[in-house]
Amino acid sequence: MEYTHLSEFEIRSGNLSMWTPELATDAWQPDDRPLTSVHAGYCAGVDPTDPLPGRGRWIGTVFEMDAPLDGSAWRETLRRWHVRHEGLRTTVTTASPGEPRRLIAASTAVEIAQQPVTGLTDGARINEFLSATLEQRLSPLVWPHCLAATVEHAETGDFTVLVAADHSVMDAYSQAILILELRTLYREVMAGDASRESVTFASAADFAVLERACAAELDRNSPAVAIWREFLADGAMPRFAPQAQRPARADLPQPSVSRRLLDLTALEQVEAVLEQVRHRMSVAVFAALAVAHQRRFGADRMRTAMPIATRPDLRWLESMGWFVNVVPVDIALTPDTGIGAAMDLARAALRRSRTANDASWSRVLDLLDVDETPRFGISFLDIRVLPGYELVADLRGRTLRAESYSPDEVFLWVVRAADGLYVSTRYPAGFPAEVMDEFLTAFGHALSSITTAVHADAVVDAGRAAQPFAAVSPGAVVEEQGEPSSPVAADRSMPADARALRTDTLRVAVQAG
């Protein structure tokens, strides 16, 4: 599954409709549960007079439903979806002093309105219309925070679905799982069945209570704060290859690149070798990025922010919401570090970052008096943790991010997909495209070299083992055998599709703009 812009997805021509949630004006009720730390800060940083509140902020998902469009059934599907997820019936008020407060609407109050867009059937023009509409209508301060669109393809008997939301009510994991959730709901409605009930659809507002309680326990002496303090020792968020930057107009959108680094055959060869040395794919990815960073830019230290999924309990396994934290990753190499040693160093760095897993990054930055947000981030996701991930590819499923206009942010998303390993990136308009191309090429070469490098090390180690008095090279600590136990896999009372989700391996993006 690629993480890309809507403009890079070819929408087939057809009949376009917008589907908008509606509520009576008196439906909103104050709710005492707080916003998460990052949600409150995010809302506080938005200009309520901005005519394009969604610009650079919205995220979404597009796919093709493998069934004809029945308007009544699709309306009921979206209604059931909003009934199920309290986060989609949540908004904020800024009327009182202090941080924004939460408002909630009852599940029975939501209706879905269809707005056909007449005279617009060409796929390219539909794409342009939707991109502009989402920038105008999606805001963290004005409900609805989530919109849907369909493009009916009468000649093929199916339809394209776009779901887009302000980032405050959806994260990258939500983007991925909603495809099969909406498909399942639609099939249930068409069959006249009741929706599946599950304890895994808990409210994002309940998560916020837990997150704020944990954040309140942090102080300047907390271990997680110490990790961040060391990471920011020079007083600034790390940048990606700042020496390669060139001046550019501030209003230019960031370029976006998406490519397959390894096909399935090459990827499985690498994974077989990683299994031998007991390293995970995430370790290999970060090691290869550090090696590429060193070789292309001469930097022996790669510091980056890593977004991670923070669904701490099965209750939130299938919830829609913003369940993301950010942790610092600091990988230091020597000038002659090979990929094998780099994996050991990357593994140690990733393990060290776990100290900050449950510590709200925005609260930590407040404690350190840091105003900046991350400027360089790397995210890894193994798509196989998602139930029915192979079907997602058949439905042309893509997760989407809005175009960004940042002059200095660089973000990389690496995805282990069904047919290979993919990387997507966005970077400043002033960053030369050829330099990014060279870096991504070096990243791919470093990953490919794992097979040869580990086999070579094995030959050397075998030779040493044959000498009875030779010292055995201790190396670095390696990954434990197999994956850590997952409560999802162990709980047989959960639905099969829920058990299939492996939350311990998720690495998703908090910055999707």
Give the three-class secondary structure for 330.
Answer: strand
Query: For the residues 130-157, what does the mean pLDDT come to?
Result: 97
Q: What is the pLDDT of residues 224-242, one digit of tens each?
A: 999 999 999 988 999 999 9
For residue 488, pLDDT over 80 is answered with no
Answer with the one of 461, 477, 494 that is the final residue of a domain: 461
Domain membership of residue 257 as a residue range = 221-461
For residue 486, pLDDT over 50 is answered with no
Answer with the one of 152, 175, 207 that is the final residue of a domain: 207
For residue 1, pLDDT over 80 is answered with no
Whether residue 488 is contained in a domain is answered as no
For residue 93, pLDDT over 60 is answered with yes
Whether residue 482 is contained in a domain is answered as no
In a shared domain, residues 311 and 170: no
Q: What is the pLDDT of residues 340-365, one digit of tens each?
A: 999 999 999 999 999 999 999 999 99
In a shared domain, residues 170 and 280: no
CATH code assigned at 142:
3.30.559.10
In a shared domain, residues 200 and 233: no
Whether residue 58 is contained in a domain is answered as yes
For residue 480, pLDDT over 50 is answered with no
Query: For the residues 312-334, what does the mean pLDDT come to?
Result: 96
For residue 499, pLDDT over 70 is answered with no
Give backbone dihedrals phi and psi of 261, rounded to 5 degrees, phi first.
-85, -40
Q: What is the pTM of this model?
A: 0.87
Q: What is the pLDDT of residues 396-439, one digit of tens each?
A: 999 999 999 999 999 999 999 989 999 999 999 999 999 999 99
Distance, in Å, from the CA atom of 395 to the CA atom of 392, rounded to the nearest integer, reads 5
Q: In one letter, which amino acid is 466?
A: A
pLDDT of residue 145: 98
pLDDT of residue 10: 96
Q: In one letter, which amino acid is 58?
A: W
Quote the percentage of the chain above a pLDDT of 70. Answer: 88
In a shared domain, residues 311 and 420: yes
Q: What is the mean pLDDT of the chain?
A: 88
Give the three-class secondary structure for 283.
Answer: helix
Give the three-class secondary structure for 384.
Answer: helix
Whether residue 501 is contained in a domain is answered as no
Number of domains in the chain: 2
Confidence label for 457 from pLDDT (cuts 50, 70 and 90): low
CATH code assigned at 234:
3.30.559.30
For residue 456, pLDDT over 50 is answered with yes
In a shared domain, residues 71 and 162: yes
Answer with the one of 207, 242, 270 that is the final residue of a domain: 207
In a shared domain, residues 226 and 182: no
CA torsion sign for 426, 432, 433, 436 is negative
Instruction: Name which of 59, 152, 481, 85 is nearest 315 in CA terms.
Output: 85
Instruction: Name which of 172, 190, 140 is nearest 379 in CA terms.
Output: 172
Distance, in Å, from the CA atom of 288 to the CA atom of 93, rounded to the nearest integer, reads 45
Give the three-class secondary structure for 121.
Answer: coil
For residue 496, pLDDT over 90 is answered with no
For residue 252, pLDDT over 80 is answered with yes
A 10 A CB-CB count for 330 gives: 17
Whether residue 513 is contained in a domain is answered as no
For residue 29, pLDDT over 70 is answered with yes
In a shared domain, residues 255 and 164: no
Phi-psi region of 78 (alpha: psi -120 to 50; beta: other; left: phi over 0): alpha
In a shared domain, residues 50 and 188: yes
For residue 501, pLDDT over 50 is answered with no
For residue 500, pLDDT over 60 is answered with no
Whether residue 248 is contained in a domain is answered as yes
| Residues 15, 151 contacting (CB under 8 angstroms) | yes
Q: In one letter, which amino acid is 376?
A: F
